[in-house]
Structure 1
């Protein structure tokens, strides 16, 4: 573990030192000008908290329930593509850290380790994230594999009918495994710990796809297949089709609009996640914390509303809960830890967020995360009325 690690920013700096540029930039970037990526964090920082005293806050609890599962705090690890390129076998390491800490882990369709890899490596059920692709037979196969692996929830990502362009990815020529260009070879040579770890890892391709799709057996065929598969024709009817075929919890991620939240409920969602894909899709979209209150007010009594995109501290989690979120998801925050120190780094990211959440809740005069509401806020910053 890099030392000292006091906050998520320390893990970010350690990740940047350890991981090749193309994979670090893949995580730490947004689309186009990155205005929405930065607004997610900036708008959270603008919110002010009310400090309260004279309250017994000795016996505190962060425990709650997310999608029917008891969790140590209202945080789940979000689905993140290419986690296995931040650290060899990265999805397995992150899943282990999450389960040992007591929070859920979500495996991405675009993971390096497959559903079966993770299921063999962790004792408890995890969640699986699904992209709606043109090949509906493959989608059904993925859902069947997730169910067979014991996954208790399906997280359907709604906000990627087409891919948002991240300029850094274009400039870096992002691929997995990385292309052996001179620039890439020189950059990897400057990251010997990462290079050695990846050389020892068994998994370097998209494990949920390679070997499971006819004709996809190498990087060129995989790249072509992925490029053609993201489906711009997806509608709410497709979500209803998925709902009929999935017996577990259905979580719809990527909701920013109240009308879409209402449609998600009608389509059978058990949970909706207010998310803008970490600012990686529509640049210029509202920040997620700005979108959260109206969505929570519109549908929060009918389904669980969660918050995603921009969380870097436990204070961010508390602010989201105060504005109506019953749970949150973190992506970059745990990926920095994974890149910096593997399983121990993911655990450290969770420890940091939990400690910050606990301390801030206490200083605001609360002992139970379930009792936190908007009265904990002194102002809403951007949403000040």
Structure 2
């Protein structure tokens, strides 16, 4: 079935429509990566180096994609990764959460998101709240207690981001507030993308750059950059700090940003229930290998003791199957669902998840596997040097992730 005006058949088409609809600055902020974009590019390109070994005859007539992550049963092995202020659509995280609920999967809400945890949990009870180590222990405790009271099912602590003044290479300047000066500056972009602006006007508000989940009771929500500044002034956590946070939370707990087996072992030692193999979508240390390259070594180290998820570079259902064959419980996506959200709101996110679900089903059929649990490394072909690091892609000087 070919793409139509209200439906697209690939994530690449969602990205194309997002680019057409969004003001250049908003789209550029989604696409940018750190420094030269080497890691961001490798996140997706590395999947192309893995091949399949199809099996014919006796293929299962039905394939099961269901799995369990952090105690939550989900209908497909794809979760929405927490991402910051989602100014691509007026309903932002609430629309994404509804889409995830409709697809039968979980929503990750960033503490730097633009919608309150209470609203997102109402839209999708299977919401995981994400936090950074920002402020002292008392402030962190209040933040996670609010998430617990709202009904968040799990806590994600994100560690894979450095305070690099050159991060988000290629990203346009983003205003701290949409005051009159900022609106005048970005007005020409709005004129070029009238459908984007009309969408906000229909919802009777402008893009909100505040982060309500970072406010204490009675406080006005800080702006994204105010919260970011507090984060930069907070000493980074020790593993004992993370143990304290896990105990204070008292529920399912994920450490996001693990790329070394030694760190995976420490996550197990503090009692974490899951880890996300992630480099923050290529927005951490540029030159680090794509997430899929380091997955096998982490699964070898702790795969029998903790849930291992893969976050970074997934653009097709086939990519998800490759990650699961190498030992991941499920995958998390960021840019793809934001492109869907920009292209067509909640329906666009559902569309992206449907595309991935279809790709997973097709791969299971081609491999002769009835369920995710049947996948194994032998279903793939892998170059002998696959885990050694990113390749010197010609496109690395101008970050252009694979989109087709």
Q: 1:378 to 1:237 in 2, by over 3 A?
A: same
1:205 counterpart = 2:194: no
- Is the CA contact (8 Å cut-off) linking 1:22 and 1:174 kept in structure 2? no
Relative to the length of structure 2, the TM-score reads 0.88
Which of 91, 94, 110 is equivalent to 2:93? 91
SS in 2 for 1:73: coil
Q: Distance in 2 between matches of 1:255 and 1:92?
A: 28
Instruction: Give the alignment of 1:233-248 within 5 angstroms.
Output: 233-248=236-251
**Where does residue 37 of structure 2 map in the other structure?**
34
**Where does residue 327 of structure 2 map in the other structure?**
324
Moved over 6 A (4+): none
Q: Distance in 2 between matches of 1:344 and 1:314?
A: 18
1:346 counterpart = 2:335: no
Q: 1:244 to 1:210 in 2, by over 3 A?
A: closer
CA deviation vs aligned residue, 1:48-94 (integer Å, no higher than 9, x gap): 100110123211111111112111111110001112x0101210000
SS in 2 for 1:168: coil
SS in 2 for 1:40: helix
Relative to the length of structure 1, the TM-score reads 0.92
CA deviation vs aligned residue, 1:18-58 (integer Å, no higher than 9, x gap): 11222211211110100000001111111010011012321
Residue 162 (structure 1) shift: 2.4
1:77 counterpart = 2:80: yes
Q: Distance in 2 between matches of 1:359 and 1:172?
A: 41
**Where does residue 401 of structure 2 map in the other structure?**
none
Q: 1:42 to 1:232 in 2, by over 3 A?
A: farther
Q: 1:215 to 1:59 in 2, by over 3 A?
A: closer
- Is the CA contact (8 Å cut-off) linking 1:71 and 1:103 kept in structure 2? yes
Instruction: Give the alignment of 1:1-20 within 5 angstroms.
Output: 2-3=5-6, 5-20=8-23
Residue 136 (structure 1) shift: 2.7
- Is the CA contact (8 Å cut-off) linking 2:116 and 2:212 kept in structure 1? yes
**Worse-matched range after superposition: 371-380 or 71-80:** 371-380
List runs of 5+ in structure 2 lacking aligned partners: 389-404
Q: Distance in 2 between matches of 1:321 and 1:275?
A: 15
SS in 1 for 2:141: helix
Instruction: Give the alignment of 1:215-254 within 5 angstroms.
Output: 219=223, 223-230=225-232, 231-254=234-257
List runs of 5+ in structure 1 lacking aligned partners: none
Q: 1:110 to 1:360 in 2, by over 3 A?
A: same
1:270 counterpart = 2:287: no
Which of 95, 102, 105 is equivalent to 2:104? 102
1:374 counterpart = 2:366: no
Q: Distance in 2 between matches of 1:347 and 1:29?
A: 24
Q: 1:13 to 1:145 in 2, by over 3 A?
A: same
Name the Cα RMSD after superposition.
2.2
Q: Distance in 1 between matches of 2:124 and 2:333?
A: 22
